[in-house]
Amino acid sequence: MTIDSLELASLLCSRLCHDLLSPVGALSNGLELLADEKDPEMRRKCFELLEQSAKISADKLRFFRLAFGAAGGFGEMVPVQEPRALVDALVGNNGRITANWNLAGDTLPKPAVKTLLNLSLIAIEALVRGGTLDIAAEFREGVSELVVRASGPRIAFDPVIGQALDGTLPSADLSSRTVAAAMLHQLATSLGGGLQYHVSAEALVMGAMLPAA
């Protein structure tokens, strides 16, 4: 499966807009309430809503900037604390997920960081009732090894996302929901690497082996 660059960009933009619609809409609603509200306690609650929505919007923008963007090119090494902070922010905003990390080394190549962020996002979205997110990453002998595991009382993983990850999803069936997984497959293939996943009722496990660009 090869994705046209214009189609990829369009679908990623659609995904970004979809994910930002809720917190930005909450900002708009909060401002409308604040304009008409005179009660001090209600105004305080409006400000709390605005603050929370602004934080969620900013956290998602920072996440997607690195997960989807190409700032700095693909040869750059990225400190591992950067993707960790981005994922921890999303997990913190969720409130029902606990993240555990096992990171070997101080940096990862940018393609590995993009893969790690997008696999983490898929895992977070699979934990519809909360649970545990375990993330491990290592860059050794020119190869990045990544493992992301989501475990919880219910795992919601659409098979079409799995098809996008392994490259069997027809291009005609691509959507904003599957484009990130399809992008990962294309990125891994371009580097001579690969992705794997396994899903059960209790857990979703995804892995990647990515040679350095």
Q: 187-209 pLDDT, tens per residue?
A: 999 999 999 999 998 999 999 99
Q: How far apart are CA 10 and CA 194, in angstroms?
A: 25
H-assigned helices in the chain: 5-36, 40-68, 81-94, 110-126, 159-166, 179-190
Mean pLDDT, rounded, for 140-154: 95
Instruction: Report whether 39 contacts 16 (CB < 8 A).
Output: no
Q: How far apart are CA 146 and CA 101, in angstroms?
A: 11
Mean pLDDT, rounded, for 166-179: 88
Mean pLDDT, rounded, for 66-74: 68
Lowest mean pLDDT among 55-59, 131-135, 156-160: 55-59
Q: Is 201 exposed, middle or buried (0-12, 13-18, 19+ CB in 10 A)?
A: exposed
For the chain, list the domains and their CATH numbers: 5-211 (3.30.565.10)
Kindly report the average pLDDT of the chain as a whole number. 88
Confidence of residue 127 (pLDDT cuts 50, 70, 90): very high
Q: Is 37 exposed, middle or buried (0-12, 13-18, 19+ CB in 10 A)?
A: middle
Can you tell me which residue has the tokens 């997920």?
97
pLDDT in tens, 100-120: 999 998 999 999 999 999 999
Confidence of residue 72 (pLDDT cuts 50, 70, 90): very low
How many C-beta atoms surround the C-beta of residue 58 within 10 A? 12
Q: How far apart are CA 115 and CA 110, in angstroms?
A: 9
pLDDT of residue 39: 79
Three-state SS sequence of 84-135: HHHHHHHHHHHCCEEEEEEEECCEEEHHHHHHHHHHHHHHHHHCCCCEEEEE
Instruction: Report whether 159 contacts 170 (CB < 8 A).
Output: no
pLDDT in tens, 2-42: 567 777 778 888 887 877 777 777 777 777 777 777 778 87
